[in-house]
Amino acid sequence: MSDVLDLPDTPSTVRAARTSTEQWAYAAHRDGALHGSTRDFLNTSAQSATERADAFWHWNSKRIAHGTFAYGKALATAPTAHTSLRYLDGRVMSGLNFSSQDYLSLASHPQVHVAAIEAIKRLGVHSAGSTALAGNVVDGNVLEHELGTWLHTPLVALFPTGWAAGYGVIRGLMRAQDHVVIDVLAHNCLQEGAAAATRNVHLYRHLDVEHARKQLQRIRDKDSSNAILLVTEGIFSMDADSPDIKALQSLAHEFGAMLLVDVAHDLGCSGPDGTGQIGAQGMLGKVDLVMGAFSKSFASNGGFVATHSHAIKEYLRYYAPPNTFSNALSPAQIATVRECIKIIRSDEGQMRRDALFDAVGALRSHLQALGITVMGQPSPIVPVLLGREDVARITSALIAERGVLTNLVEYPAVSNNNARLRMQVMSQHTADQCATAAGIIAQTWEEAKTLVDACELASAEQTT
């Protein structure tokens, strides 16, 4: 590796100049584009926000330039099973798309497009207000009713995004003296909502009902009266695993708490009649608060909270800030979600779920057969464990060039040296496409490990 080229300062040209893979990896390693994380720029000694941002941008630009920054990509075509993404260094990569969240491939469904266009023609493109004022579109009230009926949890409040629903339900219901007991891996919207609502946030070990019990007991030993919200997800977004919802719901009631389940990744695309983990675990209509996002299986931005209490629904309208102070879903979004629910609950919906899980099974088994650790249980999220961040960054960059587009998840989104590809499958994917992607990933991962070893050896030789 000592005959490495003297590379220019703007290394995106390194790829454009068709240097060898070894030379590219070495340059990325040498320039720090395989190390560090966004966490480094969260709390720094910098006094000003601009200094902090500048420090981040300096590091980030190096990664972009070397092609090891896998974020901030832009769709150049629709997010179907094959797509094109423009990376921040300007390159457009085309290939098999495992990076979009459209589990049932409904974003490209002609019937959904017709419904959205019809709604625009009838009601225009904007809700022009929050749900607390005049932003409710009458069709939105119908959607609330349809969702409530489907979930056997009849009172539904819509939110502008899934994130807003998760944040809003906790921030809206909990007060400073209350407690939130939350799975340590719960999504950012839930953690942020909890942190904004109260300092009494108690983490419990991932999926660990007994640890949740201990936390609840500890709280009730000191505080017999204030509210407690127990928080979990149907399918966890980084690990693709599920809690025992029944056990958590009875635990919540035992301690005078309420249970909140975020079903963003499982509602619509799994379970009987698309009812996700709640349905699959026989808990339909038996969970206190169900919160979801439309962005994974319903082809739209938007979110909701379903409850059995009319009072809670209306309380959220005025006390959940993203409901009260943010504009409501637009007519096209509402029509899109309504049409998706119609399809999801029809025979076609079941066929799409079956096709999705066939593809999931094919992808998982091909990856496992090639010696790769695939985490969690079968779900549209297939987390592919790569380990070290440097190896993962190289793998992720090279597979994109080789025709597999997927998202890289690295520290701090997951723990150190547990970097992974978060592959997201859709019903359009074929078993052949899954086999092709698995083969490219397995071969590239091996190559990346060798490249990183060689980089370390070369830099050790240079320093001695």
Interface region with ligand PLP, contact rule CB under 6 A, candidates 218-226, 257-265, 365-373, 414-422: 257-265
Whole-number Å distance between alpha carbons of 414 and 423: 15
Residue 382 found at the interface with ligand PLP (CB under 6 A): no
> Could you tell me whether strands 201-204 and 179-183 are parallel, antiparallel, or unpaired per DSSP bridges?
parallel
Q: State which of residues 83, 131, 232, 295 lies at the interface with ligand PLP (CB under 6 A).
A: 295
Query: Ramachandran region of residue 218, left (φ > 0), alpha (ψ -120 to 50) or beta?
Result: alpha
Among 99, 237, 323, 444, binds ligand PLP (CB under 6 A): 237
Q: Name which of 174 and 231 has its Cβ closer to ligand PLP.
A: 231
Helix, strand, coil shares, percent, the chain, to 5: 45, 15, 40
For the CB of residue 81, give the shortest distance to ligand PLP in the complex, in Å. Answer: 20
Short-list 271, 274, 244, CA closest to 259: 244
- The rounded distance, in Å, linking the Cα atoms of 313 and 306 is 8
**Stretch 15-54: interaction string toward ligand PLP, x if CB under 6 A:** ----------------------------------------
Number of residues counted as binding ligand PLP (CB under 6 A): 14
Q: Which of residues 164-203 bind ligand PLP (CB under 6 A)?
A: 166, 187, 189
> Are the beta carbons of 181 and 212 closer than 8 angstroms?
yes
- Tell me which residue of 366, 345, 347 sits closest to 431, measured CA to CA: 366
Mapped onto helix, strand or coil, the DSSP state of residue 156 is strand
Nearer to ligand PLP, 107 or 442 (CB): 107
Q: State in angstroms the smallest separation of the CB of 187 from ligand PLP.
A: 4
Residue nearest ligand PLP, Cβ-based: 162
Nearer to ligand PLP, 31 or 239 (CB): 239
Q: Quick one: 59 or 236, whose CB is closer to ligand PLP?
A: 236
Nearer to ligand PLP, 269 or 293 (CB): 293
* Alpha-carbon span 3 to 357, nearest angstrom: 49
Q: Is 304 in the site for ligand PLP (CB under 6 A)?
A: no
Residue 160 binding ligand PLP, by CB under 6 A? no
Q: What minimum distance in Å lies between the beta carbon of 18 and ligand PLP?
A: 36
Nearer to ligand PLP, 66 or 187 (CB): 187
Helices (H), 67-206: 110-123, 138-151, 162-173, 188-197
Beta bridge partners of 260: 231, 289
Interaction of residue 423 with ligand PLP, rule CB under 6 A: no
Nearest CA among 48, 52, 92, 45 for reference residue 73: 92
Our CB check for ligand PLP shows the closer of 231 and 258 to be 231
With binding defined as CB under 6 A, does residue 339 bind ligand PLP? no
Alpha carbons 340 and 298: distance in angstroms, whole number: 5
- Rounded Cα gap, residues 95 and 334, in angstroms: 31
Among 79, 95, 162, 172, binds ligand PLP (CB under 6 A): 162
What span, in angstroms and rounded, lies between the C-alpha atoms of 341 and 72?
Answer: 30
| Dist CA 194 CA 181 (whole Å) | 9
Q: Nearer Cβ to ligand PLP, position 131 or 161?
A: 161
363/413 with CB nearer ligand PLP: 413
Phi, psi of 402 (to 5 degrees): -95, 10
226 Cβ contact partners less than 8 Å away, ≥ 6 residues apart: 177, 178, 179
244 contacts 209 by C-beta, under 8 angstroms: yes
CB neighbourhood size of 319 (10 A)? 16
Considering beta carbons, is residue 55 or 201 the nearer one to ligand PLP? 201
Q: With binding defined as CB under 6 A, does residue 420 bind ligand PLP?
A: no
Given candidates 161, 297, 428, 433, which one binds ligand PLP under the rule CB under 6 A? 161
Among 85, 116, 158, 293, binds ligand PLP (CB under 6 A): 293
Segment 258-277, which members bind ligand PLP (CB under 6 A)?
A: 262, 264-265
Asked if residue 89 binds ligand PLP (CB under 6 A), the reply is no
Give the CA angle between residues 281, 286, 288 to the nearest 5°.
Answer: 120
Residue at token pair 């799975």:
183
Q: Provide the minimum distance between the beta carbon of 294 and ligand PLP in the complex, in angstroms, as a whole number.
A: 7
Locus of tokens 């127990």: 230
Closer residue to ligand PLP, CB minimum distance, 265 or 393: 265
Binding site for ligand PLP (CB under 6 A): 161-163, 166, 187, 189, 233, 237, 262, 264-265, 293, 295, 303
